Amino acid sequence: IAGITQAPTSQILAAGRRMTLRCTQDMRHNAMYWYRQDLGLGLRLIHYSNTAGTTGKGEVPDGYSVSRANTDDFPLTLASAVPSQTSVYFCASSDSPLGTDTQYFGPGTRLTVL
Amino acid sequence: GENVEQHPSTLSVQEGDSAVIKCTYSDSASNYFPWYKQELGKRPQLIIDIRSNVGEKKDQRIAVTLNKTAKHFSLHITETQPEDSAVYFCAASIRSGGYQKVTFGTGTKLQVIP
């Protein structure tokens, strides 16, 4: 693995189903983030984690949960998917959460909820 | 909270001409301003960034300027090439509530006409 990866690449999901989007980085970055990207709205932060064992809510956290059991992995779970969660999801990481570090993005997961 | 406005939403230029994208931000405490380029179906990738103690930064054909007093920053691309065609996002970053809060603009779709 080189950098930051996400899985799956794309997914079509029935409303009400549970879904976990996976994110893994091998850069030993402390901070990780989940964004959703919707046309005309740019990138909006869902949840973040400053370091393993800690998580926090971003701008649009409702309907999503995250965990950070170790440095490398930061999964995003939709407990009961709804059509409004149709979006492209990007995971990102940065070396530190101090506010001036570059965030590096994964390749994204395109999720469609029907 | 922080609000980032980006203009224009679309921009078409002839190959070889310059392109300028402008962003404004609302929180004077923001101290890091990255610019991302996103090609169709790809992840956002950092192309240049500037910190609040710097007024201008250049990297080959790309430059960014920052006016802290007026709270605006701009991306300048000179001698544009077809491969510059993409969506460009500005962002303003601040350490807020214990995490790196990055607020993105809504994007500018740049088309370089050969």
Amino acid A44: pLDDT: 93
The pLDDT of residue A2 is above 90 = no
Q: Which chain B residues touch A3 with a CB distance below 8 Å? A: none
Interface probe with A: pick from B48, B102, B103, most Cβ of A within 10 Å: B102
Mean pLDDT computed over B60-80: 96
Quote the percentage of chain B above a pLDDT of 90: 81
Prior bond to A8 cis, omega within 30? yes
pLDDT band for B33, please (50, 70, 90 cuts): very high
Higher-confidence residue of A97 and B21: namely B21
Taking only Cα atoms into account, the Rg of chain B, rounded to an integer number of angstroms, comes to: 14
Say which of B32, B43, B102 has its CB closest to residue A106. Answer: B43
CB spacing of B100 vs A31 below 8 angstroms: yes
Torsion of CA A74, A10, B82, A104, to 10 degrees: 0
| pLDDT mean over B71-98 | 92
B113: β partners: B14
User: How much is the pLDDT for B54?
Assistant: 79
Residue linked to tokens 């976990």:
A20
> What pLDDT, in 10s, does the model give residues B46-55?
999 998 877 8
From CA A86, how far away is CA A93, in angstroms rounded?
23
Chain A CB contacts of B21 below 8 Å: none
Q: CB of B29 within 8 A of CB of B19?
A: no
Question: In chain A, what residues touch B95 (CB-CB under 8 Å)?
Answer: 97-99
Q: Provide φ and ψ at A17, rounded to 5°.
A: -80, 155
